[in-house]
Structure 1
């Protein structure tokens, strides 16, 4: 009887939840920790599925994300080696709705390395993914705003939790993301 009551309560709880599918894209600024490099600009784009439970919302997603870094020469000239790391990110976020239009969120994110391009100043490049770990685990924190017409905006930070093992050096991916999204 107890199990039946729990099942009825759970079905009613999730049945009252509102779910929304959406898309999100934006600007990224990525860099490695503990490495003498500058941030590199990129973009991210993907989809999410938000299950709104009132005060809380659960939001799994899937997105393409550019990460990496650039190394400026000793002379400080604009010429730099640029390394672009392309990942598929799989975040699992929990949002706390503070006001009808404002929320904060956090959660884990698994990322899979899909490609790499290291461009040297002389024009040559390397595309092998061998010198870097093929996956990444990060923690995501941020703040979001619900806008009119189904739009939303957010600022988030991906904080690397495991080493990228870049040429056997202990560095982590850190990414600042500014996004605009749309709920269908």
Structure 2
């Protein structure tokens, strides 16, 4: 047991020696699976902590992310213009650094629904989060590049693993994200 604790301490100490804290923000395009709607443009912003040992690194993070869809394909009255769901995402990514400037990544992501804005064509809005599950589990895959001056760029895709139970319909969040970040 003592050896295991020493090994974990040494790993943590070594990992933090190569750690980088950073911020990231960018454009999001989200939609639900199998729902007959158009993607909704939004944004995401947050922070991350990357620690690793050269070829592999682990990057937990936290970010605010807008998800949702545009125009439900129905004839309901009044017609829905768009439905914006605001989440706090907590991804834990494993990065594989192929070259000093290029990496690919994947990992799980937990999300918590914090607010919602449902806009109707007649100008009215609804902010109730009751018709939607309050949490979501998914995965993230993507590719990133390190640029000069501590700047990084990445393209990622968030895939929902479970239904968000949107008005008792089996739909999942899917989000394309294009981001710029800065390592401190």
TM-score, normalised relative to structure 2: 0.91
Match of 2:170 in 1: 170
TM alignment of 1:71-110, pairs within 5 A: 71=71, 81-110=81-110
Cα deviation for residue 80 of structure 1 reads: 6.2
Q: Does the 8 Å contact 2:80/2:118 carry over to 1?
A: no
Cα deviation for residue 10 of structure 1 reads: 3.9
Match of 1:161 in 2: 161
Match of 1:22 in 2: 22
Cα deviation for residue 7 of structure 1 reads: 4.2
> How many residues are aligned here?
179
Q: Secondary structure at the match of 1:180?
A: strand
Partners of 1:14 and 1:64 in 2: CA distance = 28
Q: Does the 8 Å contact 2:141/2:156 carry over to 1?
A: yes
Match of 1:37 in 2: 37
User: Unmatched 5+ residue regions in structure 2?
Assistant: none
TM-score, normalised relative to structure 1: 0.91
Match of 1:59 in 2: 59
Cα deviation for residue 4 of structure 1 reads: 4.5
Q: CA RMSD in A?
A: 1.8
Partners of 1:131 and 1:146 in 2: CA distance = 41
Q: Does the 8 Å contact 2:37/2:73 carry over to 1?
A: no
2:146 is equivalent to residue 143 of structure 1 = no
Q: Secondary structure at the match of 2:71?
A: strand
Match of 1:117 in 2: 117
